């Protein structure tokens, strides 16, 4: 794994700290993006269920792979309760993260994870609606090996867009799964097969 520069560590800590957690406020909003299978996905598909979201990118060298592995382990640990949770991986790097790239990348993780991409303006609007920060490090438009600094926490959103919890980077999968259960996902609606 690539080591962080000291200033990067500070920025990582700052963008990991949630502005609000388990505050019951409404988060998110309307969106229309494309998943890794080329299918259009809208917010309406998730309006009546819980979503576990992580914003990142496929070229991320050190934060996103372990985060998506933890997300995969959370889904496994939830057992039958996982039927009531839709995991989403939303890119913060739509210029490089095409649906094809997302599909190839997500083959390494739980198949229930939907990878969402879209135009830069669509991704920017969604990130803002979900209180996610993302910054491109390189200002050189010709630099195709740039890195992105981005919020590293996962968020759990309930039906109707209610912010239920934020899970900081590095939190163990068993802890996240238990917190999700305590929130009451067991009583939530079941996912329909069309969304899987």
Please list, in sequence order, all residues whose beta carbon lies within 8 angstroms of the beta carbon of residue 82, skipping any fewer than 6 positions away.
75, 76, 112
Kindly report which listed range (8-17, 49-58, 142-151) carries the lowest average pLDDT score.
8-17
Per-residue pLDDT at 191 exceeds 80? no
Dist. CA 160–CA 157, nearest whole Å: 8
Per-residue pLDDT at 56 exceeds 60? yes
pLDDT digits (tens, 9 = 90+) for 97-106: 999 999 999 9
Element spanning 158, H or E: strand 154-158
Per-residue pLDDT at 163 exceeds 70? yes
Angle at 98 between CA 92 and CA 99, to 5 degrees: 110
Domains parsed from the chain with CATH numbers: 23-136+148-188 (3.40.30.10)
CA atoms within 13 A on the CB side of 13: 6
């Amino acid at each position: 794994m690539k080591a962080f520069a000291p200033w990067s560590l500070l920025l990582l800590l700052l963008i990991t700290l949630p502005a609000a957690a388990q505050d019951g406020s409404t988060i998110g909003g309307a969106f229309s993006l494309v998943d890794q299978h080329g299918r259009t996905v809208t917010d309406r598909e998730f309006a009546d269920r819980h979503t576990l979201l992580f914003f990142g990118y496929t070229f991320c060298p050190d934060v996103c792979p372990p985060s998506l592995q933890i997300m995969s382990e959370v889904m496994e640990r939830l057992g039958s309760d996982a039927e009531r949770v839709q995991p989403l991986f939303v890119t913060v790097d739509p210029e490089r993260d095409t649906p094809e790239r997302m599909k190839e990348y997500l083959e390494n993780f739980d198949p229930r994870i939907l990878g969402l991409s879209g135009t830069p303006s669509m991704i920017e609007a969604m990130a803002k609606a979900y209180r996610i920060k993302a910054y491109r490090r390189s200002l050189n438009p010709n630099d195709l090996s740039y890195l992105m600094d981005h919020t590293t926490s996962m968020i759990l959103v309930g039906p109707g867009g209610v912010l239920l919890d934020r899970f900081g980077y590095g939190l163990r999968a068993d802890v996240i799964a238990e917190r999700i259960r305590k929130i009451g996902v067991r009583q939530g609606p079941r996912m329909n097969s069309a969304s899987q």
